[in-house]
Amino acid sequence: MKKIEIIPAILEKTFPEIEKRVKRVEEVGVKLVQIDICDGDLTPSKTFASSASLTSFQKIKNLSPKMKYELDMIVDMERGFGSRGDRFLNAILFLKPQRVIFHFSGVKDWDKIFEALKKSRIKIALAVWLTDDIQKIKKLLNKYPFDYIQIMGIEKVGFGGQKLSVGVYRRARYFIQRYPDLPIQVDGGVKLENARRLSEAGVSRFVAGSGIFGAENIKERINEFKKEVV
């Protein structure tokens, strides 16, 4: 039986907004959140910590002693790699999140990613966009020991409040059939009304921003998600 996770997603430009959202979900017992970091290059969106400074990651680290983090690195790791790319890796190792997601189109030197993080016990995921070449994705998944796959459920990555693309269901079924041991996670456009269909396609982790934070009662909304996907 697959382990189900409902993961609140935080995509914000300022630290006070991140802090506010972490506190909201922590108050209702959430133990892990996804924080999106967008650099303005891989996607036009730009968020807090986009400069890869240790100061910004220190602020995230100090948010809560109990909260665990999943970083969604929507960044071009090759832009100035050796400078900003290395700073991102150093900042990730400093924060020591439970999981980190790198996007297929944002990385060329995957050896460097795995070499930098392999001793840290940080889980590494591959994020796949709907426009990514599936044959290239297969080669990458067959070569590197990714811990799970994140399918981006929207066309405009890095922006919240969008509608889920129907192509996600087909992609989820494709990956779960070929990589049954890898958890499949969907981020973007995940709402209560499409959660059950996503689950039936093989998805076990549901990342939702507005789908959770848009509710008046967050705890009740998370419980509603769980009932849909059990």
- Residue-wise pLDDT for 28-43, tens only, equals 999 999 999 999 889 8
Q: Which amino acid is at 141?
A: L
Q: Which two tokens stand for residue 35?
A: 């924080």
pLDDT tens-digit map of 46-105: 999 998 999 999 999 999 999 999 999 999 998 754 578 899 999 999 999 999 999 999
- Identify the band that residue 1 occupies on the pLDDT scale cut at 50, 70 and 90: low
Which range marks the domain in which residue 55 is found?
5-221
d(CA 230, CA 76): 36
d(CA 209, CA 188): 8
What total of structural domains would you count in the chain?
A: 1
230 part of a folded domain? no
d(CA 197, CA 201): 6
Average pLDDT, the chain: 94
Residue 31 belongs to a domain with what CATH number? 3.20.20.70
> 192: helix, coil or strand?
helix
142 part of a folded domain? yes
> What predicted TM-score, i.e. pTM, was given to this entire model?
0.95
d(CA 50, CA 23): 22
